[in-house]
Amino acid sequence: MDFKPLSGREFPRFSGIKTFFRLPHAPLDADYDVGILGVPFDGGVSYRPGARFAPSRIREMSSLGRTYHWSREDHWANRLKVADIGDVSTVPLSIEQTYKKIEATVLPLVQKKKKILSVGGDHSTTLPLLRSFGKVHGPLRLIHFDAHLDTYPAAWDCEYHHGAFLRHAIEEGLVKEVVQFGIRGPLVSKEDLDFATKHKFKIFTMDNIRNTHLNEVLKTIPAFDATPTYITFDVDALDPAFAPGTGTPVPGGLTSYEAQRILRELQIPNFIGGDVVEVCPASDSSDITSLFAMDVLFEYLGMC
Amino acid sequence: MDFKPLSGREFPRFSGIKTFFRLPHAPLDADYDVGILGVPFDGGVSYRPGARFAPSRIREMSSLGRTYHWSREDHWANRLKVADIGDVSTVPLSIEQTYKKIEATVLPLVQKKKKILSVGGDHSTTLPLLRSFGKVHGPLRLIHFDAHLDTYPAAWDCEYHHGAFLRHAIEEGLVKEVVQFGIRGPLVSKEDLDFATKHKFKIFTMDNIRNTHLNEVLKTIPAFDATPTYITFDVDALDPAFAPGTGTPVPGGLTSYEAQRILRELQIPNFIGGDVVEVCPASDSSDITSLFAMDVLFEYLGMC
Amino acid sequence: MDFKPLSGREFPRFSGIKTFFRLPHAPLDADYDVGILGVPFDGGVSYRPGARFAPSRIREMSSLGRTYHWSREDHWANRLKVADIGDVSTVPLSIEQTYKKIEATVLPLVQKKKKILSVGGDHSTTLPLLRSFGKVHGPLRLIHFDAHLDTYPAAWDCEYHHGAFLRHAIEEGLVKEVVQFGIRGPLVSKEDLDFATKHKFKIFTMDNIRNTHLNEVLKTIPAFDATPTYITFDVDALDPAFAPGTGTPVPGGLTSYEAQRILRELQIPNFIGGDVVEVCPASDSSDITSLFAMDVLFEYLGMC
Amino acid sequence: MDFKPLSGREFPRFSGIKTFFRLPHAPLDADYDVGILGVPFDGGVSYRPGARFAPSRIREMSSLGRTYHWSREDHWANRLKVADIGDVSTVPLSIEQTYKKIEATVLPLVQKKKKILSVGGDHSTTLPLLRSFGKVHGPLRLIHFDAHLDTYPAAWDCEYHHGAFLRHAIEEGLVKEVVQFGIRGPLVSKEDLDFATKHKFKIFTMDNIRNTHLNEVLKTIPAFDATPTYITFDVDALDPAFAPGTGTPVPGGLTSYEAQRILRELQIPNFIGGDVVEVCPASDSSDITSLFAMDVLFEYLGMC
Amino acid sequence: MDFKPLSGREFPRFSGIKTFFRLPHAPLDADYDVGILGVPFDGGVSYRPGARFAPSRIREMSSLGRTYHWSREDHWANRLKVADIGDVSTVPLSIEQTYKKIEATVLPLVQKKKKILSVGGDHSTTLPLLRSFGKVHGPLRLIHFDAHLDTYPAAWDCEYHHGAFLRHAIEEGLVKEVVQFGIRGPLVSKEDLDFATKHKFKIFTMDNIRNTHLNEVLKTIPAFDATPTYITFDVDALDPAFAPGTGTPVPGGLTSYEAQRILRELQIPNFIGGDVVEVCPASDSSDITSLFAMDVLFEYLGMC
Amino acid sequence: MDFKPLSGREFPRFSGIKTFFRLPHAPLDADYDVGILGVPFDGGVSYRPGARFAPSRIREMSSLGRTYHWSREDHWANRLKVADIGDVSTVPLSIEQTYKKIEATVLPLVQKKKKILSVGGDHSTTLPLLRSFGKVHGPLRLIHFDAHLDTYPAAWDCEYHHGAFLRHAIEEGLVKEVVQFGIRGPLVSKEDLDFATKHKFKIFTMDNIRNTHLNEVLKTIPAFDATPTYITFDVDALDPAFAPGTGTPVPGGLTSYEAQRILRELQIPNFIGGDVVEVCPASDSSDITSLFAMDVLFEYLGMC
């Protein structure tokens, strides 16, 4: 297996079986450096469902993906063995079973030091991913793009849902440091902020990001040490104009360029994995949200 | 409370707070004869979710509803006290909790001899409704419109899902007689039919319905005795051209006219309640599926 | 001016300035036999507006129009001088002014014995058309395709609206005979039928049309004498599956084939004009309703 | 009546009868401080109609509304009694009758010193609102977000339409001071500006807003005295990317963040009411325009 | 390789890499009986392009496919080794090069007596398929579902396009017998029929099909001898209500049920291959046309 | 012929035969200064087709066009004779024939010193336009808005396609100087940049444009001499949020305001013509991309 994307000059980009970046579909135990994994589950959402279709739709749109990163001057496909390792076999009716299946799939791969980029699914799917990475790499730094804090308590007696993954990740000791981008109100109440305050989140709210020129903001991002670092990108960090295809959109968010630039400027000595979540194709407009999700994966590949 | 729809001559039909048929929103314990209830839950689906938004969208489209049934020569609003009794408080992440909440809401109403028309939600929501009706009215006759048999076994170790409600209803002794309309292939295997055969379902497949003129088919519908009778209408009984807004569409189904005529010709001495399920607004086209769902409710009102 | 459609072999059908059937855009006083006129007005609707965009969208879709009618064995473009005579200058905020402008445009053309096919616009636009034709040709026979009777009283103190045109046409003595196709319930009340009964409408309800094979139904259409005959086609006569792009859809309607066959079988010795109304492009699905409206015009051309 | 939004923890946000912010639906004469009122009328538009459906769609999307404003550190629901007071009974065919009905509904409420936030409807509906507020509060300061000046003359002999409300408001003496945001070309002619110049509008054009960093622009907003101040927000002030769901979009407009920030930074000692208009759901993309309209209401609540 | 579809009980149907019927993606030279092949090319269309995306979208929707045919009492996956053999490498800018590539791919497979079911692409792609089958199996019987005759002459000096494949197939001696279903007007001119008449096509027009009950029509289908038989299904044979997702729709077509029944009743002793073409996903409504295309493939599998 | 747009006060903007800016449709040899020409061809695309429908859709949306440019203080319709000169007769199946037809149409007009603004079509249509202008005006300056460099080599043995027009224009000596705006990665490889480097393109990448305040960037645009200058605007220069209706979108692009400002600030002493290309209406959202394309034409008119 050569781990190269199918060339658009060999097969036009609209053709062929659709995999992430037109990469070969490899079995879980193949010899790749980076595996891109679908996690089609949306049983954790509180409003619009549909993210279960995101892996398939992002595969489709990632046909437009390219391999050379102009700013990084990096050609990932020449440097890394990357594969589409398929989807986790999820259970649409049970978050508990799905959590077990995600961890059962991902933990062994992390133990083999694979880098895993996953494509949700709703944000509840990040917890079992963090469990897999946390168990192997110790407590992690989490870089978190989102409109929401995701530190919410249980809802309707359900401990796990898409607004609570970060609270659990911290309570379970998987994550020790959090940097957030894109967070904004309105909130349910002032107390929403308590958890973040207590755990010393570094939050770049939309106001923080827009109060001066972006280049100035970028200079304030902390220099990261070698703590194993995971990035989770909820596309609702973007403004609904840039990411209409999501379940709980919030006006006043990032532009696609801002997100790209922040991702590009992050200096992460020890990047272990990442995900892009909460793409809801049924609410998208001309697939621009899926297209952007592909771009997040492209930035991750530059960090691998 | 006068239980009359808001007049389109008083408030144009696009205006006002949206309730089913522009009826007053009444508390559960109000003095109505027939309560129309939303059951916004889609945690039981195996493919496209989204039916959780159906009660809201059908309320919107039912603004176009009228009150006089030409064929029945019946003006339901003059004869019955009908109310919108709101939505069940469902739990999007848990089918088990949702089942309890549906039954906790509906059983007391059935015990008071209310007729309840409910608007799903996916087809898994019919089981707790049948439990409520079955406990009060003894084993029931079920008239079931669907493309699918819905007698399937557990899936992914989940006993309850939208393709299994009828199996449970029979195994739990809630239903003793089943008449189905619209059923068609393809099937997963020949064994799919065993349960229906064993329990002597009377099935009007699409071939049965189309093999002669509809009027001839209608004559073959059995004369029903006074057994308490519940009707469940899954909109995928219709062809996808007539009901694109559903989660698991199957080509080759009923037309809207055929469904109306069958509903109209049924002679049901003891109609106790009914539901319309599996409307998925995010997949609809100009809301024609929600509009049809309103029409099913209109036919039910004629039977009350 | 040669009054021939632009050939698809000369200019592909997606190209060129869009006119009805790719015909030349002629001034009102040109030497055509049949003028196709847009009437972009939707100020008479009670629910979804948007029919003001129908003439433009039907021009677009009529690029797919052809000129030879297989059943009639008739090639209209060889036999008739047909032109697109543009749109009436309507007043979106005033039905009264619009009525005057429509009549001021159309009456002189009818006086010159032109045949006028018009493209609404909502159904309120038919009244000034009937006034124009009625003043010249005496009381008319009206053939009326619709889901609704359109004999409703004033609404919100507005005498004229899209559900009242037929009542006025009869009360003003413009129409003496009415044949309706596609009418169906639900109705507001039983009294809705009184006007039709009093004025001896010949109504082919959906039940009448579906109670036997279509060919048998067609035989029951009366033989028409030489009374000047106008046809008005409200696309909601079709089922919403066939005409989703309309303002007040009603389930259980005609198929496109049934409508074509009825139009084709009508034997009208003295056809003076017709219209197609209530196409609402914003609610359409892949423009199938606009495409059908083009087909209605095609049938009219065969009658000219 | 407790005037609290229905909790998302009690009823998931997709469930329940839809009211603004899930607030109780109160009668006009209830004991609220702030009433949110729908004004479903689009008979004043010159291009795309459809805003009549905006109150219903914004109710739906305001289910995502929250109550705590992070920047203002304000929890409106704890401080104010806010209610959904339903829709004005409009007359879709008559702007004159609709004007009377709006004023008849709103004037008595303003006289009782209620604050009214209204949800159009097209921009023609703002005039009767200003008449109601102007008659009670004397000549007003108007803060006006829009792409257009809305000082246009009569059109097609119709004095009142959606591009003329501001001219009338000034000519009638209801408004004495105007501050505009988002205004941009192209214009019909240079003379379009004469009215604004004559009446000393303070205009923040897009060029004014983008010529320096937003924080600098915000400093140039005048300090407002206690003149009673009304805000009208036409969503076409936003760029079509942020507000595609509107009737007369103009490229080159505000971002959602800019609009939020401007609204937030306004220091208004005497805020009496406001509206958000020109949302056209049929042209929207994933309801992002309705969602933004909810956000405007949220900012207004922070000013009440 | 076991040539079984991925089970919906193992992986939910929304998950996994998308192949036709969730079958394994096999190389061209694998040991299958039936290969399902994508032919993503739409360079031959005269109106709406977009069919190049059909193979991908039909793979997506065929996740809903099942394996047991109720009427045929046949379980294709138990009887046949079926595989998704990927897409032909087409050239979007050149019909000539694409023709060569299709034939270069398919001819060797036909020579090995594989059955090939292909998924267009526009109808111009059928010619190189017929060349491949014709060269091996001698002159063929062609069963052709379509709204159009597809016997048109060259257009704009281009000999090959989507309306001319059948003329070439006959002129090249590939096809000796043609049976057509769904054909209907309007036509460009009466001469359109000359080619069909000369070559003795057996045409079931829409009028033929609707002039009596479908069961009577089915009896008039000729008994077929062992002539090698190919079926080509242009989805515009269906009415636009049933197949909106196509490039040149024509009102008045088949229902999905009629098409299924005709396919099912055909008795074909020597079925060698078939295709489904002209699905245009960008014009589809909730993917109902792609879903139907999957159904055509399902019927073909029953004939293999 | 008076070359004035039809007034919105005479005919509402939704009415009338649709031409660019509601201008008269003039024959090619009429006495206009500036001709706006449609070039409906998308046979050169490598991904999503559909730009063939752009001229028609942009005509529709340009009904919203106005004539006075606020910043330029210029009223183009008072100063110039502008006409819609219809569409080139393209050949959808042949880029070679289409190139000949475009040049045969445009070259004679350029020779008569007409200014031509054209509306594609895909970007491959710019080459024959540059040939027409280059032959008359000698080697040109090209100002090029795009996400892509468009200097790519042949693909699938096809020399001409939408990503190669600029390479040919330079190799054929038609263009001697290139200034690009909006260019961004990802690229296929580092070598993509070689052609631009070799030919000394002045590139304003997205990073260049966003690294400081726009006003600072604008100051760095070179002062242009009297070299004949052509502008080609590929709408994918915009971010997909602002231009979803295009065939190969790339996240991270220009806002509509940035594009307007850059166009406005360009000081071009010798503007000879321009085009706007790659609008794909089938992928658009509420026609915002077509609306923006109209705005580009409006800026061009200010330069004529």
**What per-residue confidence (pLDDT) applies to A1?**
76
Residue numbers in chain A where pLDDT is lower than 50 = none
- Could you give the strand order of the β-sheet that contains E202-205, starting from the edge strand earlier in sequence? E82-87, E34-39, E115-120, E271-277, E229-234, E140-145, E175-183, E202-205
- A244 → chain D, closest CA residue: D286
Minimal Cβ distance to B46: which of E13, E73, E242 = E13
Confidence band, pLDDT 50/70/90 cuts, at residue E53: very high
Local structure of A262: helix, strand or coil: helix
Confidence band, pLDDT 50/70/90 cuts, at residue D10: confident
**What per-residue confidence (pLDDT) applies to C135?**
97
Q: Which two tokens stand for residue A77?
A: 């496909």
Among the listed residues A151, A217, A145, the one whose alpha carbon sits nearest the alpha carbon of residue A183: A145
**Rounded-to-integer distance, Cα A295 and Cα A255, Å:** 13
Among the listed residues A13, A83, A29, A103, the one whose alpha carbon sits nearest the alpha carbon of residue A304: A83
Q: For residue range F119-161, what is the model confidence (pLDDT) as tens digits?
A: 999 999 999 999 999 999 989 999 999 999 999 999 998 999 9
Q: Which two tokens stand for residue E214?
A: 């479908």
Minimal Cβ distance to F43: which of E52, E93, E97 = E93
Task: Give the mean pLDDT of B79-107.
Answer: 98
Q: For residue range D248-290, what is the model confidence (pLDDT) as tens digits?
A: 999 999 999 999 999 999 999 999 999 999 999 999 999 999 9
Among the listed residues B223, B220, B200, B224, the one whose alpha carbon sits nearest the alpha carbon of residue B211: B220
CATH for C20-302 is 3.40.800.10
**Rounded-to-integer distance, Cα B124 and Cα B130, Å:** 11
Task: With both helix axes pointing from N to C terminus, report the angle between E54-61 and A54-61 in degrees, rounded to the nearest 10.
Answer: 170
Looking at the complex, report in whole angstroms how far the Cα of residue C149 sits from the nearest Cα belonging to chain D.
20
**Rounded-to-integer distance, Cα D172 and Cα D159, Å:** 13
Residue E14 burial by Cβ neighbours in a 10 Å radius (0-12, 13-18, 19+): buried
Interface of A to D at Cβ within 8 Å reads: 46-48, 155-156, 184-190, 192, 205-207, 210-213, 239-241, 244-245, 248-253, 283-285
Q: For residue range D25-40, what is the model confidence (pLDDT) as tens digits?
A: 999 999 999 999 999 9
- C8 → chain F, closest CA residue: F89
DSSP states along E103-159: HHHHHHHHHTT-EEEEEESSGGGHHHHHHHHHHHH-SEEEEEE-SS------BTTBS
Which partners does chain D have (≥3 C-beta pairs < 8 Å)? A, B, C, F
Given a cut of 90, whether residue D1 has pLDDT beyond it is no
Cα atoms in the 13 Å half-sphere on the side-chain side of A55: 30
Cα atoms in the 13 Å half-sphere on the side-chain side of B43: 24
Chain A residues lying within 8 Å of D12, measured CB to CB: 46-47, 156
Q: Which residues, 6+ apart, have CB-to-CB distance to D149 below 8 Å?
A: D166, D180, D183, D192, D193, D195, D196
Q: Which two tokens stand for residue E163?
A: 């309306």
Minimal Cβ distance to A11: which of E12, E18, E87 = E87
Looking at the complex, report in whole angstroms how far the Cα of residue F112 sits from the nearest Cα belonging to chain D.
30
Given a cut of 80, whether residue C1 has pLDDT beyond it is no
Where along chain A do its domains lie?
20-303
Asked if the bond preceding C121 is cis, omega within 30° of 0, the reply is yes
**What per-residue confidence (pLDDT) applies to C142?**
98
Looking at the complex, report in whole angstroms how far the Cα of residue B186 sits from the nearest Cα belonging to chain C.
23
Q: How would CATH label the architecture of B20-303?
A: 3-Layer(aba) Sandwich (3.40)
**What per-residue confidence (pLDDT) applies to E87?**
98
- B162 → chain A, closest CA residue: A93
**Rounded-to-integer distance, Cα F81 and Cα F128, Å:** 25
Looking at the complex, report in whole angstroms how far the Cα of residue A268 sits from the nearest Cα belonging to chain D.
29
Interchain pair F55, C15: CB under 8 A = yes
Residue A28 burial by Cβ neighbours in a 10 Å radius (0-12, 13-18, 19+): middle
Torsion of CA D84, D89, D91, D96, to 10 degrees: -90
**Rounded-to-integer distance, Cα D21 and Cα D58, Å:** 9
Interchain pair F70, D186: CB under 8 A = yes
Among the listed residues F88, D236, D243, the one whose alpha carbon sits nearest the alpha carbon of residue A241: D243
Report yes or no: B114 and B43 within 8 Å, Cβ to Cβ: no
Place of tokens 């032959």: F135
**Rounded-to-integer distance, Cα A13 and Cα E52, Å:** 10
**Rounded-to-integer distance, Cα C183 and Cα C204, Å:** 7
User: Which helix or strand (DSSP H or E) is residue F301 part of?
Assistant: helix F288-303
Interface of D to A at Cβ within 8 Å reads: 8-9, 12-14, 63-71, 73, 75, 213-215, 239, 241-242, 255-257, 260-261, 285-286, 288, 291-292, 295, 298
Q: For residue range E123-132, what is the model confidence (pLDDT) as tens digits?
A: 999 999 999 9
Given a cut of 80, whether residue B227 has pLDDT beyond it is yes
Confidence band, pLDDT 50/70/90 cuts, at residue D138: confident
Compute and round to an integer the Cα radius of gyration of chain A: 18
**What per-residue confidence (pLDDT) applies to F112?**
98
Interchain pair D46, F13: CB under 8 A = yes
Interchain pair C240, B257: CB under 8 A = no
**What per-residue confidence (pLDDT) applies to E31?**
97
Local structure of F201: helix, strand or coil: coil
Place of tokens 């003043």: C135
Compute and round to an integer the Cα radius of gyration of chain D: 18
Evaluate if pTM is beyond 0.90.
yes
Among the listed residues E164, E231, E224, E174, the one whose alpha carbon sits nearest the alpha carbon of residue E195: E164
Question: Judging by DSSP bridges, how do beta strands B34-39 and E115-120 pair with one another?
Answer: unpaired
Cα atoms in the 13 Å half-sphere on the side-chain side of C250: 21
Looking at the complex, report in whole angstroms how far the Cα of residue C23 sits from the nearest Cα belonging to chain E.
15
Chain F residues lying within 8 Å of A8, measured CB to CB: 46, 155, 188
Chain CA centroid to CA B181, Å: 13
Whole-number percent of chain D with pLDDT over 70: 100
Report yes or no: B67 and B5 within 8 Å, Cβ to Cβ: yes
Q: For residue range B11-56, what is the model confidence (pLDDT) as tens digits?
A: 999 999 999 999 999 999 999 999 999 999 999 999 999 999 999 9
Q: For residue range F247-258, what is the model confidence (pLDDT) as tens digits?
A: 999 999 999 999
**What per-residue confidence (pLDDT) applies to A138?**
84
What's chain D look like in SS3?
CCCCCCCCCCCCCCCCCCCHHHCCECCCCCCCCEEEEEECCCCCCCCCCCHHHHHHHHHHHHHHCCCEECCCCEEHHHHCCEEEEEECCCCCCCHHHHHHHHHHHHHHHHHCCCEEEEEECCHHHHHHHHHHHHHHHCCEEEEEECCCCCCCCCECCECCCCCCHHHHHHHCCCEEEEEEEEECCCECCHHHHHHHHHCCCEEEEHHHHHCCCHHHHHHCCCCCCCCCEEEEEEHHHECCCCCCCECCCCCCCECHHHHHHHHHHCCCCCEEEEEEECECHHHCCCCHHHHHHHHHHHHHHHHC
Chain B residues lying within 8 Å of D12, measured CB to CB: 40, 52, 89-92
Cβ–Cβ contacts within 10 Å for residue C138, how many? 12
**Length of chain E, in residues:** 304
Task: Give the mean pLDDT of F181-194.
Answer: 95
Chain F residues lying within 8 Å of C19, measured CB to CB: 17
Interchain pair B187, E260: CB under 8 A = no
Residue D116 burial by Cβ neighbours in a 10 Å radius (0-12, 13-18, 19+): buried
E248's torsion region: left (phi>0), alpha (psi -120 to 50) or beta?
beta
**What per-residue confidence (pLDDT) applies to B1?**
76
Q: Which two tokens stand for residue B140?
A: 């029931």
**Rounded-to-integer distance, Cα B109 and Cα B103, Å:** 10
Q: Which two tokens stand for residue D79?
A: 């401080």
Q: Which two tokens stand for residue A108?
A: 């062994």
Whole-number percent of chain F with pLDDT over 70: 100
Q: Which residues, 6+ apart, have CB-to-CB distance to F29 below 8 Å?
A: none
**Rounded-to-integer distance, Cα B229 and Cα B174, Å:** 11
Confidence band, pLDDT 50/70/90 cuts, at residue E1: confident
Chain B residues lying within 8 Å of A161, measured CB to CB: 93
**Rounded-to-integer distance, Cα C112 and Cα E255, Å:** 44
Whole-number percent of chain B with pLDDT over 70: 100
Among the listed residues B129, B123, B126, the one whose alpha carbon sits nearest the alpha carbon of residue B106: B129
**What per-residue confidence (pLDDT) applies to F257?**
98
| D204, amino acid identity | F
| F195, amino acid identity | F
What does the DSSP 8-state code read for residue F147?
Answer: S
**Rounded-to-integer distance, Cα C261 and Cα C127, Å:** 26
Question: Judging by DSSP bridges, how do beta strands C68-69 and C74-75 pair with one another?
Answer: antiparallel
**Rounded-to-integer distance, Cα B82 and Cα A150, Å:** 42
Confidence band, pLDDT 50/70/90 cuts, at residue D153: very high
Q: Which residues, 6+ apart, have CB-to-CB distance to B143 below 8 Å?
A: B179, B180, B181, B229, B230, B231, B232, B266, B268
Q: Which residues, 6+ apart, have CB-to-CB distance to D52 below 8 Å?
A: B12, B14, B15, C49, D40, D41, D42, D90, D92, D121
Compute and round to an integer the Cα radius of gyration of chain C: 18
- E256 → chain B, closest CA residue: B252
Question: Judging by DSSP bridges, how do beta strands F115-120 and F34-39 pair with one another?
Answer: parallel
**What per-residue confidence (pLDDT) applies to E168?**
98
Distances from the Cα of D154 to the Cαs of D151, D158, D163, in angstroms?
10, 5, 9
Q: For residue range C119-157, what is the model confidence (pLDDT) as tens digits?
A: 999 999 999 999 999 999 989 999 999 999 999 999 998
Confidence band, pLDDT 50/70/90 cuts, at residue D162: very high
| F36, amino acid identity | I
From first CA to last CA, the distance across chain A in angstroms is 20
Report yes or no: B299 and B264 within 8 Å, Cβ to Cβ: yes
